[in-house]
Amino acid sequence: MDVLLGPVREDDVALLQRFVVEPGLIGLDWNGFRDAQAPVRRFAEDGFLGAEDGRLMVRTGAETAGLVSWRSGSFDGRTKYWEIGIALLPEYRGRGMGWRAQAMLTAYLFEHTPVQRIQAATHPENLAEQKSLEKAGFRLEGVIRGCEFRAGRLRDGYLYSRLRDDPAPELGNGSVTGMATDTVGGPSAH
């Protein structure tokens, strides 16, 4: 399946609004109703491509399947890392798009920013996302105890990371630029 990542377009904003007002659309990550106009304002501000965070849309052909996101963090106040996330519409889950999109975003961030570390967190019960992160080249670092308030109580999370020098997975057909690639960063010979 071809997977492409690209900037948020004006016609994508309606989907981003759905993610903040439709319970269950993004699975366990839904945290209650949010300001439905926030995506409109953010798109007008910077197209979701800020210095400290951003979003790209996940597409397959002409269809939009969801989004990938990143935000900056730092453990020591000086050394920046990116934390990535993904939200796919239910009909696109389980089709091999998630791990590719996350691996492509990771390759993109390593290529265009000087960070050494990219991390992702998930829920202990989200076995599909755990497998997706591992396939995308991430390693489980451990349990983050009581890190998230969800469904009325604090819950644990799993933290995964990939460092710049860790092996990158073979992507097959996927691109951030719209060009098919055989491997991360290499144009396809097809």
Mapping DSSP onto H, E and C, the string for 103-151 reads: HHHHHHHHHHCCCCEEEEEECCCCHHHHHHHHHCCCEEEEEEEEEEEEC
Q: pLDDT by residue (tens digit) across 83-115?
A: 999 999 999 999 999 999 999 999 999 999 999
Average confidence (pLDDT) over 45-54: 98
CA 16 to chain centre: 14
Average confidence (pLDDT) over 108-130: 96
pLDDT of residue 78: 94
More confident residue, 146 or 174: 146
Mean of all residue pLDDT scores within the chain: 90
pLDDT of residue 168: 92
Asked whether the predicted pLDDT for residue 38 surpasses 70, the reply is yes
Average confidence (pLDDT) over 44-70: 97
Asked whether the predicted pLDDT for residue 32 surpasses 90, the reply is no
